[in-house]
Amino acid sequence: MINLETPRKFRAFVNQAHQVAAEMLRPNSRRYDLAEHEYPVELDMLAAMVDGLGASGTSSGAGAAGVRRTAAGEGVVNGSNLSSVLSIMEMCWGDVGLLLSMPRQGLGNSAIASVASDEQLRRFDGVWAGMAITEPGCGSDSANIQTTARRDVDDYIIDGEKIFVTAGGRCDAVVVWASLDKSLGRAAIKSFVVPKDTPGMTVERLDHKLGIRASDTATLRFDNCRVPAANLLGSPEIDADKGFAGVMQTFDNTRPLVASMAVGCARASLELTRELLADAGVEIDYDRSVHFQPAAAAVYLQLEADWEAAYLLTLQAAWMADNGKPNSLQASKAKAKAGRAANDITLRCIELTSTLGYSEHELLEKWARDSKILDIFEGTQQIQQLIVARRLLGKTSTELK
């Protein structure tokens, strides 16, 4: 049975993550939001510290690279997936954009951790990997990817264009989703690790964005880009029965991570809003019915309940991954709930705090801008609801579109 308290073995590490967020990320939050595309040099030291904790075993494999599944054993396991979401919540309480800018903690690292072989894990250890899925004509429908990878002796040659690649300009390598044979549909989609210095791969531009400005978002082009066949993650075989379950397993691990980002960002907004309301004379009384409290307090309690639901769903999805249980449904539920809740909470917090929330005097307006992407990337709100509906109704992607 899942225990909803933070496991004792993770508490010290989670506290460390919170201290880093409070002392390093949040103080630099506004600076790098205004200085878009400027690399946050402070993160080099932080990334080295996280690497050291991982190497020593102190962090229990937390971070983007910690989301690897193991076979279910006896008893209950509180493993690296749960540790990862708990630590990321704390870091995103500090700043989402800076968390996404941390070296070797990209979503591509999660993809490698999820589906790479043991040999590939060793070979790509220490690589900072971005994730390249979205294309100009293919947004949420990952099965409609047009980028191709054709076999040529011991290599694959990749051709195509990818947009909205998080950390695409700064990372060492990119995990690229491409089709081995477009006539075979989604079953032929595989993921490849492409180092940034590979001939034929170019960074076309860096995008200006609404939020997470500290994190660079790039458009990449692949033109006769040759990568070793050994860089294909997982099996090269095309199995029509399994579809593209191999690469989709990445989402089952990364969607709880994105949900935890949303939970952390929303919690930051709630905490600051409560302080500002208290300064204005509005106290939140948990011992009284909402009907007997000020309107602002009643709204706040509703937002806090919404946050709690997102938090619990996120823990459930990560805990199931740690215990070898299929969690595709729960991962999508967590991502859908947390992404939408973070949007709603951060915007309503601005309403509750009026001019203080809307101005740059506080970080509330920034958190509202940052939260929007958390409802979009790794599968939009609509896609998550579609996946949940398919799972609940027992429908395939062909039967329910």
Q: Find the CATH number of the domain harbouring 263.
A: 1.20.140.10
Of 233, 266, 289, the residue that ends a domain is 233
* Whole-prediction pTM: 0.93
User: Is residue 252 located within the same domain as residue 388?
Assistant: yes
User: Is residue 222 located within the same domain as residue 99?
Assistant: no
CA pair distance 367, 387, nearest whole angstrom? 27
* The pLDDT value given to residue 185: 83
Q: Which domain holds residue 72?
A: 8-123
Nearest to 252 by CA among 339, 332, 337, 340: 332
Residue 61 has pLDDT above 50, yes or no: no
From 30-39, 152-161, 327-336, 391-400, the region with the lowest mean pLDDT: 391-400
* The pLDDT value given to residue 48: 82
Of 78, 107, 123, the residue that ends a domain is 123
Q: Find the CATH number of the domain harbouring 49.
A: 1.10.540
User: Is residue 173 located within the same domain as residue 263?
Assistant: no
Q: Find the CATH number of the domain harbouring 160.
A: 2.40.110.10
User: Is residue 91 located within the same domain as residue 137?
Assistant: no
In-domain check, residue 249: yes
Count of CB atoms situated within 10 Å of the CB of 235: 12
- Between 249 and 367, whose confidence is greater? 367
Q: Name the percent of the chain lying above pLDDT 90.
A: 72
Residue 55 has pLDDT above 70, yes or no: no
pLDDT tens for 66-124 read 566 655 555 677 788 899 999 999 999 999 999 999 998 888 898 898 888 999 999 99
- Whole-number average pLDDT of the chain: 90
pLDDT tens for 375-397 read 999 889 999 999 999 999 999 88
User: Is residue 43 located within the same domain as residue 15?
Assistant: yes
Q: For residues 112 and 121, is the Cβ–Cβ distance under 8 A?
A: yes
* The pLDDT value given to residue 105: 84
Q: For residues 124 and 174, is the Cβ–Cβ distance under 8 A?
A: no
In-domain check, residue 401: no
In-domain check, residue 342: yes
pLDDT tens for 160-216 read 999 999 999 999 999 999 999 998 888 899 999 999 999 999 999 999 999 999 999
In-domain check, residue 240: no
User: Is residue 212 located within the same domain as residue 135?
Assistant: yes
* The pLDDT value given to residue 128: 95
Q: List 134's β-bridge partners, or say none.
A: none
User: Is residue 154 located within the same domain as residue 134?
Assistant: yes
| Residue that the structure tokens 């508490």 belong to | 11
In-domain check, residue 305: yes
DSSP 46-98: HHHHHHHHHHHTTTTT-SGGG-------SS----HHHHHHHHHHHHHHH-HHH
Average pLDDT over residues 282-305: 95
Of 123, 142, 173, the residue that ends a domain is 123
Residue 63 has pLDDT above 60, yes or no: no
| Residue that the structure tokens 């302080």 belong to | 275
In-domain check, residue 398: no
Mean pLDDT comparison of 24-33, 143-152, 246-255, highest-scoring range? 24-33
In-domain check, residue 139: yes
* The pLDDT value given to residue 305: 96
User: Is residue 249 located within the same domain as residue 360?
Assistant: yes
In-domain check, residue 274: yes
Residue 302 has pLDDT above 80, yes or no: yes
Residues in the chain: 401
Exposure class string for 379-390: b at 16+ Cβ within 10 A, else e: bbbebbebbbeb
- Counted domains in the chain: 3
If residue 177 lies in a helix (H) or strand (E), which one and from where to where?
Answer: strand 173-179
User: Is residue 105 located within the same domain as residue 156?
Assistant: no
What φ, ψ does residue 257 adopt, rounded to 5°? -65, -45
User: What is the sign of the dihedral through the CA atoms of 192, 82, 385 and 374?
Assistant: negative
* The pLDDT value given to residue 80: 85
Of the pLDDT bands very low, low, confident and very high (cuts 50, 70, 90), residue 373 is very high
User: Is residue 262 located within the same domain as residue 194?
Assistant: no
Nearest to 374 by CA among 79, 108, 17, 95: 95
User: Is residue 137 located within the same domain as residue 105?
Assistant: no
Q: For residues 349 and 303, is the Cβ–Cβ distance under 8 A?
A: yes
User: Is residue 327 located within the same domain as residue 389?
Assistant: yes
